Amino acid sequence: MKLKLFSGLVNNLAAMLSSLILVACGTATIEQNRPKDNKEKEALLLANKYMVKKDVDIIKAYCLRRKWNLKETDSGLWYEIIQKGNGDTVNTGMQVTLKYKVELLDGTFCYSSDSSGYKIFSVGAGNVEAGLDEGVRLMKMGSSARFIIPPHLAFGLMGDNKRIPSRSIEVYTVEMLKVENIKKR
């Protein structure tokens, strides 16, 4: 009971601090919004560490229920290469074309190449979720993989303002259809 109460309190604190920071960001410079004292910094750090640990616990339980054997990168991306492909590993500056499906942990469908078309992007350009960008770097042409992307590597506190809510953990299933070195074009 005490753990639930503490958990709820920390969640509320994190949400209030995040909201305060987001509101303040619209009216002041970044420097003006930085925490002024160590207590403020420690509270934000504690809330962030708690939320990341909570996400890890949720992801571990999800994988265990499905008997998935995913690995975790240093950044917190969870991945499994389902089918190994051929060719070079994907690197920064390459353009990739993915067949994909994105769901939330509760099974809610978000997007897929069937409904939205293939996902085409330049690796390292910052125009997709950081976790997806990191994940494709683990793949080769013809590979298929599964990624579980925690909020800090996905759409974070804001969500995508469409189908992915605030602080959502995304489950990506991807197939690498094409890899191009766009520098040679």
pLDDT band (50, 70, 90) for residue 36: confident
Residues 58 and 86 in one domain: no
71 contacts 63 by C-beta, under 8 angstroms? no
Residues 176 and 127 in one domain: yes
Residues 24 and 85 in one domain: no
Distance between CA 48 and CA 138 in Å, rounded? 27
pLDDT in tens, 71-122: 999 999 999 999 999 987 899 999 999 999 999 999 999 999 999 999 999 9
pLDDT in tens, 142-171: 999 999 999 999 999 999 999 999 999 999
Strand 94-104 and strand 144-149: the pairing is: unpaired
Domain that holds residue 141: 71-184
Q: Which residues pair with 91 in a beta bridge?
A: none
Residues 49 and 136 in one domain: no
Q: How many domains does the chain have?
A: 2
Distance between CA 160 and CA 116 in Å, rounded? 15
The region, left, alpha or beta by phi > 0 then psi within -120 to 50, assigned to residue 183 is: alpha
Residues 170 and 157 in one domain: yes
Domain boundary among 50, 66, 82: 66
At residue 37, the pLDDT reads 82
Domain boundary among 12, 38, 66: 66
CATH code: domain of residue 123: 3.10.50.40
For residues 8-37, average pLDDT: 54
At residue 89, the pLDDT reads 85
What percent of the chain clears pLDDT 70, i.e. is strictly above it?
A: 79
Q: Does residue 6 carry a pLDDT above 50?
A: no
For the chain, the average pLDDT equals 86
